[in-house]
Structure 1
Amino acid sequence: MQKEMKTILTIFGLIIVAVFGYILLGKDDTTEEIKQTWDVSPDTISKIKLNEGQQNMKINYTESPDNLIHVTIEGKVAKSVKEKLTDKKFTGEKNDQLEITFAKVNGIGFVSQPDDASELTMEIALPQGKQLKKLEMKMTVGDISIMVPQDFQGKYKLRARDGEKIKAVPETDKSQESTILVNTSGTITIEKK
């Protein structure tokens, strides 16, 4: 019985050491510059989905200079994030949406969050008269700030987790079939230009 107890305590101790080692050594600093652009047709893409972001992000809607949707992400990211953003396995056109994956939570369920996470900017340039059906952001952590066009009259579905706040959301009459969905452990701010 005593030998079994020592074995159980030893295994438990090793698990604790492994978890703390992963948390302390698993950090991935945001040192890699990135400016990644996706040019997609509004005839095939009506949604943009962001997955597993771990940085603050400012999103700005602008008008496209042509008939394509241009999505640009710029800033400093971790090396592993840069690899995901440029790998078509994780990021690209899937069905009717542009899916952008920043990171994957590992099998244990921990997230490697950089200490020096800088803010990313994202520009969504839409052709004149076009709108997205959905901008969906399922972020791990990070404050999200979105600047929508003055004429945006869509819906919002917002969730700020872990005691964070929704700072500002402009009123809309919900007459457009466009939804902005944000789920993050951080503050959420949406404003009109």
Structure 2
Amino acid sequence: MKKIIILALLSLTVYEGYAQETTNELTPAEKEKAIQLLKQTEAGVFDAVKGLSEAQLNFKQAADKWSVAECVNHIAAAEKELWAMASPALTQPANPEKRTEIKFGDDDLIKAVEDRTHKSKTFAALEPVNSPYKTVPEALAAFKMGREKLIALVESTKVDLRNHIVVLPIGTYDSYQYILLIAAHSNRHTQQIDEVKASPDFPKH
């Protein structure tokens, strides 16, 4: 019986596992801020592509520019891979001593990620050509699933997200901030979709 219980616990999803820790929880205001940002930026992606034809989805301003479809594929891949980079920090003891390495406040981080005047090259794994999604609907479904899991995590977790610090090549953030980063990232590329749609050569239908 003991072995069965242990196996059952090990089979819990990674998100459910995070909810078991009982330390300093997020404040109601922090939860509301993150959930609103996650929901708003999710809706932004779906609104940006609603009703677009195949010609519109696949239009490219230039050979080295992304189409709307490629932006969506990138958003969906990033939703999964960015969190996969950060989530191991939540399985380790809190490391608040690393907070001194954090360079951004919450709002400044969101603004920095969303600012498209500053260009950056994505990881090879997140390039649209390497996307595992074959169609825009498939990518959108994966994006929605990942986003719903993040929202559920914020709503239910008792993990001390502020003191689980994520140290990555792209920067150092607390785990709460990293969720804000993921939300802002999808908005960054929603703006990119809008830029594609604003092209004078964008198909009418």
TM-score range, shorter chain: under 0.3
Q: Give the structure-2-normalised TM-score.
A: 0.21
Structure of higher RCO (CA pairs closer than 8 Å, 6+ residues apart): 2
Q: Which structure features the higher share of strand residues?
A: 1
Q: Which has the higher helix share?
A: 2
Structure number with larger C-alpha Rg: 1
